[in-house]
Amino acid sequence: MYKLYCRIYQAIMKIGMYLLPWSMPKTIEGPKSILKLAPLIKEKGFTKVLIVTDKTLVEIHLLDDLLKSLDENKVNYVLFDGVNPNPTDENVEEGVKLYRDNGCEAMIAFGGGSPMDCAKGIGARIARPNKSIAKMQGLFKVLHKIPLIFTVPTTAGTGSETTIAAVITEAKTHHKASINDLSLMPKYAILDPELTAGLPPKTTATTGMDALCHAVEAYTNNTYNSKLEKDLSKKAVKLIYDNLYGAYLDGSDLKRRQNLQLAAFYAGRAFTRGSVGYVHAIGHTLGGLYGTPHGLAMSILLPHVMRAYGEKAYRRLAELCDVCGIVNQGSEKEKALAFIGWIEELKEKTGIPKYPDIKKEDIDQIVTWAIKEGNPLYPTPVTWDRNDFKAFVEKMSNGD
């Protein structure tokens, strides 16, 4: 009955998806496109913005061109660089105070998924001052217009520049969960490949695999997708297949960097409607409990979850195999396993661990949080109950 309930819930959600006003952020692409942001902000009539970022990006001077351009265009700004790798509700509250105290009118989210999610959380709290982050986690609990957010991704993975989700960790409990609301989708995304050129190879690999996870989960879910999400998923997977390992080997290749930014953007928009799956449901718990970087958790878990889905996922995975041209012939099962095999091979070549580090005493907590996130919302190829989740997590903890 539990699994039937999940499928009924998803069928109702699918109908509801057609009634929602889906959109996509406007993009400004190409080398030096960061220099076009300040004139755009000025054109929109904003005179003071909050920049949400992290200390590392400030220390390596990645924001220098943006800050200089803002000064030249007489756009005032307040710099908030206190975002954690897994942003917390405390980070959000600090940003809210800076925004209000300084009379800011809009935000620039500069960095990976963490600053972008934090900026969305700040926006949600500005829009709903009487609601805590915890009370807005879940589906459509903001429902108010938030301050306009301009996003500047400095990795090619999260896709947060085009999603309706903000993943925030509760500092006291370490519980990591999403706020999901159409109002959180940014209006503009600056895709400047030069901002990603300095990424270390390991970060290039894990963030690219994060984007791959978004596309693969959205595509294998299928239930909520329109033709647009299916097409975007396939485009993202092909771009990652063609460019990720090359960018890992040569980070200065701006064409590959640009392609990976587009892949992350497409995959982000695909899972915004198509949803993610149990890779994320379990992976988020690792980020909350252990501080595991999101992209690393996704990278490790993706092929294991796809294998665990079994034959229910074969047809969709085989289609992705065909998109990439990994094998020329074979059954659906053979093609699906070839696609999973490519992911596993890519993990090995880029030094990503095969299994996650999971403490035995945390298994029950991981399972509880994963079920709460994944069911009944995620329309995965196979619905798992508590026993299924526990068996999988135990297998991961044993390195099986």
More confident site: 378 or 177 = 378
Residue 2 lies inside a defined structural domain of this protein = no
Quick one: 151 and 254 in the same domain?
Answer: no
Pairing of strands 176-180, 165-169: antiparallel
Q: Give me the residue label for tokens 């054109």.
A: 43
Q: Work out the percent of the chain whose per-residue pLDDT is above 90.
A: 90
- In the prediction, which pLDDT does 270 show? 96
Positive or negative: CA dihedral 43, 49, 53, 59: positive
- In the prediction, which pLDDT does 328 show? 86
pLDDT higher than 80, residue 268: yes
Q: Give me the residue label for tokens 């074979």.
A: 330
- In the prediction, which pLDDT does 283 show? 96
Cα(308)–Cα(203) distance, rounded to whole angstroms? Answer: 26
DSSP β-bridge partners for residue 178: 167
Quick one: 280 and 187 in the same domain?
Answer: no
pLDDT higher than 90, residue 55: yes
Which of 132, 161, 196 represents a domain boundary (last residue)? 196
Residue 271 lies inside a defined structural domain of this protein = yes
Cα(138)–Cα(146) distance, rounded to whole angstroms? Answer: 17
Which of 196, 219, 238 represents a domain boundary (last residue)? 196
Which of 196, 229, 257 represents a domain boundary (last residue)? 196
Q: Do residues 209 and 347 lie in contact, with contact meaning Cβ atoms separated by under 8 Å?
A: yes
**Range 277-281 average pLDDT:** 97
Cβ atoms < 10 Å from Cβ of 63? 24
Quick one: 271 and 188 in the same domain?
Answer: no
Which of the four pLDDT bands, split at 50, 70 and 90, describes residue 400?
confident
pLDDT higher than 80, residue 61: yes
Which of the four pLDDT bands, split at 50, 70 and 90, describes residue 177?
confident
Count Cβ neighbours within 10 Å for each residue of 169-191 and write b for 16 or more, e otherwise: bbbeebbbbbbbbebbbbebbbb
| Global confidence as pTM | 0.93
Cα(45)–Cα(240) distance, rounded to whole angstroms? Answer: 37
Which of the four pLDDT bands, split at 50, 70 and 90, describes residue 399?
confident
CATH code for the domain in which residue 40 is found = 3.40.50.1970
Quick one: 220 and 329 in the same domain?
Answer: yes
pLDDT higher than 80, residue 371: yes
- In the prediction, which pLDDT does 175 show? 85
Q: At what angle do helices 201-221 and 278-290 cross, to 10 degrees?
A: 140
- In the prediction, which pLDDT does 222 show? 80
Residue 336 CB contacts under 8 Å (≥ 6 apart), including other chains: 313, 314, 315, 317, 318, 321
pLDDT higher than 90, residue 116: yes
Residue 83 lies inside a defined structural domain of this protein = yes
**Range 48-71 average pLDDT:** 96
Residue 360 lies inside a defined structural domain of this protein = yes
Q: Name the residue range of residue 286's domain.
A: 201-398
pLDDT higher than 90, residue 391: yes
Cβ atoms < 10 Å from Cβ of 71? 12
Pairing of strands 138-139, 76-80: unpaired
**Range 21-45 average pLDDT:** 96
- In the prediction, which pLDDT does 64 show? 97
Quick one: 177 and 238 in the same domain?
Answer: no
For 194-209, write each residue's pLDDT tens digit. 999 999 999 999 999 9
Quick one: 101 and 187 in the same domain?
Answer: yes
DSSP sequence for 70-89: HHHTT-EEEEE-B--SS-BH
Which of the four pLDDT bands, split at 50, 70 and 90, describes residue 174?
confident
- Strand ordering across the sheet containing 165-169: 138-139, 176-180, 165-169
Which of the four pLDDT bands, split at 50, 70 and 90, describes residue 176?
confident
Range with the poorest average pLDDT among 35-39, 76-80, 289-293: 289-293
Residue 151 lies inside a defined structural domain of this protein = yes
Cα(323)–Cα(205) distance, rounded to whole angstroms? Answer: 21
Provide the H-helix boundaries in the chain: 2-17, 37-43, 55-59, 64-72, 89-101, 113-127, 133-136, 201-221, 227-249, 254-274, 278-290, 294-309, 314-324, 332-349, 363-374, 386-398
Residue 23 lies inside a defined structural domain of this protein = no
Residue 16 lies inside a defined structural domain of this protein = no
Length of the chain: 400
Q: Cα-flanking dihedrals φ and ψ of residue 183, to 5°?
A: -65, -15
pLDDT higher than 80, residue 282: yes
For 303-337, write each residue's pLDDT tens digit. 999 999 999 999 999 999 999 999 989 999 999 99
For 223-260, write each residue's pLDDT tens digit. 899 999 999 999 999 999 999 999 999 999 999 999 99
- In the prediction, which pLDDT does 30 show? 96
CATH code for the domain in which residue 384 is found = 1.20.1090.10
Residue 22 lies inside a defined structural domain of this protein = no
Number of domains in the chain: 2
